[in-house]
Structure 1
Amino acid sequence: MKENNLWKVIYEDYIPDHEPLREALFTLGNGYVATRAAAEECAAGDIHYLGTYMAGGYNRARSEVSGRIVENEDLVNWPNWLPLSFRHDDGNWFKIDDVELLFYRQELDMYGGIMMRSMRFREKDGKESTLVARRFVNMKNRHLAGIEWTLTPENWSGKIQIRSALDGTVINSGVLRYRDLSSIHLQPLEVGQFEDDTIYLRVQANQSKTRMVQAARTRIYKNGKAVSVESDFFKKVGYVANIFTLECEEKRPLTIEKIVSVFSSRDRAITEPVLEARDALSEAGRFSELLKAHSQSWAELWYRCDIDIKDGDQTQMILRLHIFHILQTASINTIGLDVGVPARGWHGEAYRGHIFWDELFVFPFLNFQLPELARSLLMYRYHRLPAARRAAKAAGYKGAMFPWQSGSNGREESQVVHLNPQSGNWDPDNTYLQRHVGVAIAYNIYQYYEATRDIEFLMAYGAEMMFEIARFWSSIAVFNDKRGRFEIHGVVGPDEFHTEYPDSEKSGLNNNAYTNVMAVWVLRTALDFVDLLSDTRKRELFAELKIDDDEIERWQQISRKMYVPFMENGIISQFEGYDNLKELDFEHYKKKYGDIQRLDRILKAEGDSPNRYKVSKQADVLMLFYLLSADEMEALFRRMGYHFDRSTIPETVKYYIDRSSHGSTLSRLVFSWVFSRTDREESYQVFKESLKSDFEDIQGGTTAEGIHLGAMAGTVDMIQRCYTGLEIRGGILWLNPRLPKEIKGFNMRIRYRGHWIWLHFTQHRVEVSFESGRSPQIQIGFIDKVYELGEGDCKEFLL
């Protein structure tokens, strides 16, 4: 990889083994549909994987696993709209893997939202050609995408055929460990032709019955003018193609434009997807016209969302790559869609496109950049509130118990069993016991409200969700007479390695510290929300939810009498009984296996279990320091009747970092955040490692299955909030910057309570400017003083 432009990612070599990673990193999307960066001329196989994914486009299938039938819901690999190739006379169709490459360059232009491949190649008969391929997925019109090929014969002339196709015979096979499961999700319905140059394909997901229509218009140009060519129509079940025949001349470039429209039965304001796809193409201009509007939409997004950082290495480029993928997963086009924030983006089939707690790491960025989008994504959870209520009731609880993995309708989508690649065995999967996903949802609601003061959202939706999540924690908490405190049993914390006690046949752990403390945070915040409601809305909600004074009093009691386990050394215990576990010989396993990030799989393959050891996949206790400031921690512990000693934070951080295998991309991110309070130099070094987790695929093959959106967004938030000290406290927007010495300065914009605020940071000063707009004045706190600023105001602070 060679990088010479901070808006571009550039590769100047073609390495087949690297294609899966590059196909994920160069994925193009617009918040509605996304397509991996596979070569247009290639088929799925060991090197390439053709994947097109629609936001929220799920389907369920049944498989036989370990002698029983299990049902999984997958993010569907929808028809491949990319196929484009050529051949001489009736020879072999061109594929990049079948020719000798004389020159190759692939680049992702993040500012314009376009991918380009440039190559010169020699075929087996000595014919040399130059091909420049450009591609976009339209950010302006979410239903359109385009490919442009410029083919130049370098030492030959003659007749060629061009094939442009739509392929609905694709299956879900992008994740190796899922390949023993059912993978056929598409049912072909219809193929056809609108005009000589326009074809269409209609398919249906075989369980959800969601329909998708793709239509493709392919035209050929010489010297900027359309040329008349011989056209043949080819079709078979689930596949349709145009085959054009024409003459080529040496050194005379030929331009092929393929414009595609995509519609589904999930779309609003349509009559029928086939008709909409046809009409969209009939109105679409040429590739260059569509690209201009598309790039303008990206420019507008970058004006809002860019962080212009002064750093001497790749930090700027990779940071923009992360913002790019956030905006391709969730953009303006996502607003109004019934979709959430998928942990792996719409970039691949890992985690089946499900929604986890990873959204916790994405919302802080969206709250300050695209608050209208953050609100829409929160509505995904609100629409699944009835399902969460049903789940709580079925488990014997009250309120709403949101699933660890969520898909189409909000039921629990976690697997019953999980394939261990290390042993080849299917192991029971108890990760669904991570009830703390409800904490993440409540935290996102609170953070959104604080950033926007969207009282209408709070009244109509936010408070109801918060109250129902609080009721769940109230009902799952049990009172221990001996301790005189409430406890929470049978859960799994963020760590994930520990799902039960050693030699126990019962799943779950007792008093996971993160879960217990954050349950108190939820209850306290719910009580605060009660005071924010108008008398009318409070009366309505309490009547609808059957909340009475006794229940409110129970919330008060639990929030003041929750049990938190501590070890003998005074450090917060990850869960009750954690200090009784064995220490693990990390060096032994590093020497034996090298990469020990997934120690759980290694230990299970050896007939052992991580449940027996003090070892973590990722931050658990330390998530408290990620989400809560030291002041908030102190206040919460004081509320519960505990003394919180701030001086123990560095010791607590070191204790758990020494026992982590970093088996999640979120791990280093959280550690970097908590280090920022005690050791900025170490924090920045860990941040740099986290920054490259997907770019360099440090987990060895996982990025190819889909980027890690939470980790990407978290690195952006490290700059946006962590190093700036940006937080909302007491209705005031506080800044308390502590930049690592490697960062000379940076600029960014945020949207805060109706204001667009421009922020400029250096090692020595901070400049805050309010763009014009009809918004009331707000309070800005800098270190320990509060100032009032409003429309057009500018203030400089010296460090």
Structure 2
Amino acid sequence: MNGWLLRYEGWDPAAEALRETLCALGNGRFATRAAAPERRAGDGSYPGTYVAGVFDRLTDEVDGHRISNESIVNLPDWQSLTFRVEDGPWLDLCALTVTGYVQELDLRRGVLTRRFRIEDPEGRRTRVAQRRLVSMSDPCLAALDCTVLAENWSGRLTVRSGLDGTVTNDGVARYRGLDGRHLSAVEPCVHDQLLTLTAETRQSRIRIGMAAQHRVLVEGTARPAVAVPVDEPGVAAVELALAMEPGRPATVEKLVSLWTSRDPGVGEPGEAAIDELDRAGTFADVLARHELAWDHLWFRCDVEIEGPARASLVLRLHVFHLLQTVSPHSVDLDAGIPARGLHGEAYRGHVFWDEMFVLPFLHLRLPEVARSMLLYRWRRLPQARAAARAAGHRGAMFPWQSGSTGREESQVLHLNPRSGRWLPDNSHLQRHIGLAVAYNTWRYYEATGDTDFLTEHGAELLLSIAAFWGDLATYDPVDDRFDICGVMGPDEYHDALPSRDEPGLDDNAYTNVMAAWALSRALECLEVLPPGRRHELLDTLDIRRADLERWQHVSRKLRLCWTDDGVLLQFRGYDELAEFDWAGYRARYGDISRLDRILEAEGDSTNRYKLSKQADVLMLFQLLTADELYALLDRLGYRHDRRTIPRTIAYYLERTSHGSTLSKVVHSWVLARADRRRAWDYFLEALESDIADVQGGTTGEGVHLGAMAGTVDLLERGFTGLETREDLLGFDPFLPDALRRMRFRLRYRRHTEIEVVIDHQTLTVGGTATRATVLPVRVRDKEFRLDPRGTLEVPLRHRRPD
């Protein structure tokens, strides 16, 4: 490891799934897993290429039920490339003596390199070096080259390269009993060294066009080579024969173009793929453009820290995978932010609420990308309105899991691999997803000042979501309180009270507080809109004065439940649940992060106990500042003091199993002000979630993008107190001792290049723009004004923990 290079040494087939995910390459439009080019799916390896927004729906029978699942589609494998010496077997590292094996992911350049030395049973020694990229400059291009050096032999080397259209969706073990054949009408074709392959998804009818061309070089000089077509169903492939001599390296370059019928400006995808190759140039040309694009991205997006070397690298790895999933190339794709990136098939590529952790990073660096992610939600408002009507409510009800259309994609059954039983899945009751959309919309507006977006799109989102929550709340005249019933909070361990047969909880604290926040922001939004647009929206959405008055009333009267000593209860009835035997279960099972599976296998249920899979109530203290939360409690009429938040944090810290990778991000955030050492420990644990595969195999199915983005956001906003409210840029730094210094750039409204440097003594903010206005900056409780061409340096006095 160094600050930019993720390096693996030694050929280890058992580790391939993890390495394939962590070394995957992408550009925001498509991504490809880092499978060895010579391997097909099986024996721990899984080639996978995924284009943002390319989904397909298939139906299976599960446990007597017909189940429809929409999945991101594994597209033809463009990397396929292998070789053999004379008439020997094709390359198989498991059957050879392998030495000097190194796999390196260069984060700065976006290039994956693989080097190794092999010796076959005949004693022939060969050195191999490969490079791969998915172009960040040309979003439809990828490239691979393979250099072979014969050390002690001469003879014929046959290189076989192909586009493999026989792939299926088979990357997640628990889905393998279901139909994974999403491609039909696969048509391969070979024209000399040009390969083409077209296909179509079975249900969504998305056309895919792929083309590959090759160039052979000997000692760096291009040489002609005869290409022999390979006859294999569903595969376009050629074999290239090279005459090898000791010490003379031979290289095969492979450029690949991938288009789909969803791409803007495309006619027939197969023809578009060929045209793309005609203008691509050589591997060196593609590489140079790609490296330049990454250089520009890193200038805007790097977060540089002085602290543990591993933390610095992993942090950059997280930024790298974030930018490979959503980048400037994502803007026109109408695709959301998949929870597992474009790196695998876990969660079927669906969009959950992970954008809540991703968008803060994009707001302040790539606001045009953040805007496009919000437009993904806006375009699906008709589906969300239809879902609300079907449930008997007004407004818009967004789905917990979303795919291509915005309909609810959550499972109705899920498999407990510990017990082997299929169980009802009630996660669609996580209605708080709509509150996340509202939160993201308003925070985007605060960070960017994009009044055009708010006027044309954002306000419609906020008002539609507010209409749903205003209608969902029911009034209790005895207590003069509104209740929200039959929902689930972020903690997925509780989907019902143990005394009830029907699913759903009442007055989940997270949901009710964020509903009050969203209703308040919708009312505030109306004040920002131009009068004409305000009246137009209210008429179009059929929102009357009585509705606005109800929103005011609900936002001031939603019920929250408390313990006698002032702890905010996760939901009504939580205090009546049993305490859990944490020590006993840790002694019996060791890893108890998935208590839901453990207890169900024992015939028990997490619904019976005071425990959480992940942060639920504590999420409030990440999303809202202390001042915001206390203001909301005032609005709701609940008494509190400055110990309310610390008391509540302490209560739930002892009752959380961290069954989600997001949980430790949130726990670090809420401790950042009160216990820096413990917050830093949680931060380091969150950093390890994927690179160390702490959940025991899940990373091989795709990265946990929310947790990755959350660690970056935690560092940038949690430890610095960065805020973008009240028309100014605010900071309240409180760095952990191990974090000596950090440096990053951001964009805030019209200020396009702001550099921030923070250490334990000083905060420095510098501007480089020449036409921007003066920027108001607040550092803790003091306000300053930054000249856009100057630098503001503020000494940081010692700050006691809150």
TM-score by length of 1: 0.99
Which residue, out of 167, 173, 180, partners 2:177?
180
In the alignment, the residues of structure 1 paired with residue 533 and residue 237 of structure 2 have an alpha-carbon distance, to the nearest angstrom, of 58
Structure 2 counterparts to residues 591-610 of structure 1, below 5 A: 591-610=587-606
Instruction: Spell out, residue by residue over 1:390-448, the C-alpha distance to the aligned partner (whole angstroms, 9 max, x if none).
Output: 00000001100000000000000000100111111111000000000011110100110
Which residue, out of 122, 126, 129, partners 1:129?
126
In the alignment, the residues of structure 1 paired with residue 587 and residue 378 of structure 2 have an alpha-carbon distance, to the nearest angstrom, of 48
Structure 2 counterparts to residues 680-759 of structure 1, below 5 A: 680-755=676-751, 756-759=753-756
Instruction: Kindly indicate whether residue 752 of structure 2 is the aligned counterpart of residue 766 of structure 1.
Output: no
Amino acid aligned to 1:657 = L
Structure 2 partner of 1:94? 91
Instruction: Spell out, residue by residue over 1:452-484, the C-alpha distance to the aligned partner (whole angstroms, 9 max, x if none).
Output: 000000000000000000001001000012211
After TM superposition, give the deviation of residue 681 of structure 1 in Å.
1.0
Structure 2 partner of 1:454? 450
In the alignment, the residues of structure 2 paired with residue 508 and residue 78 of structure 1 have an alpha-carbon distance, to the nearest angstrom, of 38
In the alignment, the residues of structure 1 paired with residue 672 and residue 354 of structure 2 have an alpha-carbon distance, to the nearest angstrom, of 21
After TM superposition, the structure 1 stretch with the greater mean CA deviation from structure 2, 180-189 or 660-669, is 180-189
In the alignment, the residues of structure 2 paired with residue 460 and residue 731 of structure 1 have an alpha-carbon distance, to the nearest angstrom, of 21
* Runs (5+) with no aligned partner, structure 1: none
Structure 2 partner of 1:163? 160
Amino acid aligned to 1:404 = W
Structure 2 counterparts to residues 177-216 of structure 1, below 5 A: 177-193=174-190, 195-216=191-212
Structure 2 partner of 1:17? 14
Tell me the C-alpha RMSD between the 2 structures.
1.0
After TM superposition, give the deviation of residue 650 of structure 1 in Å.
2.1
In the alignment, the residues of structure 2 paired with residue 595 and residue 403 of structure 1 have an alpha-carbon distance, to the nearest angstrom, of 31
Structure 2 partner of 1:653? 649
After TM superposition, give the deviation of residue 231 of structure 1 in Å.
1.5
Identity between Structure 1 and Structure 2 (%): 49
1:171 is paired with a residue whose SS is: coil
Check conservation: 2:673, 2:734, Cα contact below 8 A: no
Check conservation: 2:336, 2:376, Cα contact below 8 A: yes
Check conservation: 1:191, 1:235, Cα contact below 8 A: no
In the alignment, the residues of structure 2 paired with residue 569 and residue 608 of structure 1 have an alpha-carbon distance, to the nearest angstrom, of 30
After TM superposition, the structure 1 stretch with the greater mean CA deviation from structure 2, 774-783 or 44-53, is 774-783
Which residue, out of 783, 791, 796, partners 1:794?
791
In the alignment, the residues of structure 1 paired with residue 183 and residue 473 of structure 2 have an alpha-carbon distance, to the nearest angstrom, of 45
Amino acid aligned to 1:681 = R
Check conservation: 2:765, 2:793, Cα contact below 8 A: yes
In the alignment, the residues of structure 2 paired with residue 501 and residue 789 of structure 1 have an alpha-carbon distance, to the nearest angstrom, of 54
Structure 2 partner of 1:152? 149
Structure 2 counterparts to residues 74-89 of structure 1, below 5 A: 74-89=71-86
Structure 2 partner of 1:35? 32
Amino acid aligned to 2:544 = D
Structure 1 partner of 2:234? 238
2:503 is paired with a residue whose SS is: coil
Instruction: Kindly indicate whether residue 517 of structure 2 is the aligned counterpart of residue 521 of structure 1.
Output: yes
After TM superposition, give the deviation of residue 647 of structure 1 in Å.
0.9
Which residue, out of 559, 562, 568, partners 1:566?
562
Check conservation: 1:203, 1:238, Cα contact below 8 A: no
In the alignment, the residues of structure 2 paired with residue 773 and residue 394 of structure 1 have an alpha-carbon distance, to the nearest angstrom, of 54
After TM superposition, give the deviation of residue 63 of structure 1 in Å.
0.7
Amino acid aligned to 1:191 = P
Check conservation: 1:617, 1:663, Cα contact below 8 A: yes
Amino acid aligned to 2:383 = A
Instruction: Kindly indicate whether residue 51 of structure 2 is the aligned counterpart of residue 54 of structure 1.
Output: yes
* Runs (5+) with no aligned partner, structure 2: 797-802
Amino acid aligned to 1:576 = R
Structure 1 partner of 2:261? 265
Which residue, out of 775, 778, 784, partners 2:775?
778
Structure 1 partner of 2:288? 292
In the alignment, the residues of structure 1 paired with residue 421 and residue 125 of structure 2 have an alpha-carbon distance, to the nearest angstrom, of 50
Instruction: Spell out, residue by residue over 1:125-146, the C-alpha distance to the aligned partner (whole angstroms, 9 max, x if none).
Output: 2211000010000000001100
Check conservation: 1:691, 1:712, Cα contact below 8 A: yes
2:148 is paired with a residue whose SS is: strand
In the alignment, the residues of structure 2 paired with residue 81 and residue 773 of structure 1 have an alpha-carbon distance, to the nearest angstrom, of 46
Structure 2 counterparts to residues 305-344 of structure 1, below 5 A: 305-344=301-340
Structure 2 partner of 1:365? 361
After TM superposition, give the deviation of residue 503 of structure 1 in Å.
4.1
Which residue, out of 502, 509, 532, partners 2:505?
509
Instruction: Spell out, residue by residue over 1:521-574, the C-alpha distance to the aligned partner (whole angstroms, 9 max, x if none).
Output: 000000100100000100110111111111000000001111101122320000
Which residue, out of 11, 34, 41, partners 1:44?
41
Check conservation: 1:493, 1:512, Cα contact below 8 A: yes
Structure 2 partner of 1:552? 548
2:793 is paired with a residue whose SS is: strand
1:188 is paired with a residue whose SS is: strand
- How many residues are aligned here? 795
In the alignment, the residues of structure 1 paired with residue 146 and residue 560 of structure 2 have an alpha-carbon distance, to the nearest angstrom, of 62
Structure 2 partner of 1:118? 115
Structure 1 partner of 2:300? 304
Structure 2 counterparts to residues 391-406 of structure 1, below 5 A: 391-406=387-402
Structure 2 partner of 1:219? 215
In the alignment, the residues of structure 2 paired with residue 167 and residue 503 of structure 1 have an alpha-carbon distance, to the nearest angstrom, of 54
Check conservation: 2:23, 2:34, Cα contact below 8 A: yes
In the alignment, the residues of structure 1 paired with residue 508 and residue 207 of structure 2 have an alpha-carbon distance, to the nearest angstrom, of 44
In the alignment, the residues of structure 2 paired with residue 773 and residue 112 of structure 1 have an alpha-carbon distance, to the nearest angstrom, of 30
Check conservation: 2:165, 2:186, Cα contact below 8 A: no
Which residue, out of 529, 541, 553, partners 1:533?
529
Check conservation: 2:306, 2:739, Cα contact below 8 A: yes
Instruction: Spell out, residue by residue over 1:633-677, the C-alpha distance to the aligned partner (whole angstroms, 9 max, x if none).
Output: 110010011112221322211211111110000000000000012
After TM superposition, give the deviation of residue 773 of structure 1 in Å.
4.1
Structure 2 partner of 1:106? 103
Structure 2 counterparts to residues 340-419 of structure 1, below 5 A: 340-419=336-415
Instruction: Spell out, residue by residue over 1:243-298, the C-alpha distance to the aligned partner (whole angstroms, 9 max, x if none).
Output: 11221111110011010000000011122111111111112211111101101000
After TM superposition, give the deviation of residue 47 of structure 1 in Å.
1.6
Check conservation: 1:189, 1:203, Cα contact below 8 A: yes
In the alignment, the residues of structure 2 paired with residue 503 and residue 550 of structure 1 have an alpha-carbon distance, to the nearest angstrom, of 37
After TM superposition, the structure 1 stretch with the greater mean CA deviation from structure 2, 723-732 or 33-42, is 723-732
Structure 1 partner of 2:138? 141
Check conservation: 2:447, 2:725, Cα contact below 8 A: no
Structure 1 partner of 2:799? none
Structure 2 partner of 1:229? 225
Amino acid aligned to 1:624 = L
Instruction: Spell out, residue by residue over 1:93-114, the C-alpha distance to the aligned partner (whole angstroms, 9 max, x if none).
Output: 1122221112111100000000
In the alignment, the residues of structure 1 paired with residue 121 and residue 649 of structure 2 have an alpha-carbon distance, to the nearest angstrom, of 60
After TM superposition, give the deviation of residue 312 of structure 1 in Å.
3.0
Instruction: Spell out, residue by residue over 1:750-774, the C-alpha distance to the aligned partner (whole angstroms, 9 max, x if none).
Output: 1000212101111100111011143
Check conservation: 1:146, 1:260, Cα contact below 8 A: yes
In the alignment, the residues of structure 2 paired with residue 464 and residue 235 of structure 1 have an alpha-carbon distance, to the nearest angstrom, of 55
After TM superposition, the structure 1 stretch with the greater mean CA deviation from structure 2, 13-22 or 772-781, is 772-781
Instruction: Spell out, residue by residue over 1:362-403, the C-alpha distance to the aligned partner (whole angstroms, 9 max, x if none).
Output: 000000110111001110000001000000000001100000
TM-score by length of 2: 0.98
Structure 1 partner of 2:244? 248
Amino acid aligned to 1:128 = R
In the alignment, the residues of structure 2 paired with residue 213 and residue 300 of structure 1 have an alpha-carbon distance, to the nearest angstrom, of 29
In the alignment, the residues of structure 1 paired with residue 205 and residue 212 of structure 2 have an alpha-carbon distance, to the nearest angstrom, of 23
In the alignment, the residues of structure 2 paired with residue 703 and residue 463 of structure 1 have an alpha-carbon distance, to the nearest angstrom, of 37
In the alignment, the residues of structure 2 paired with residue 114 and residue 521 of structure 1 have an alpha-carbon distance, to the nearest angstrom, of 44
Instruction: Spell out, residue by residue over 1:289-347, the C-alpha distance to the aligned partner (whole angstroms, 9 max, x if none).
Output: 11011010000000000011101331110000000000000011111111011111000
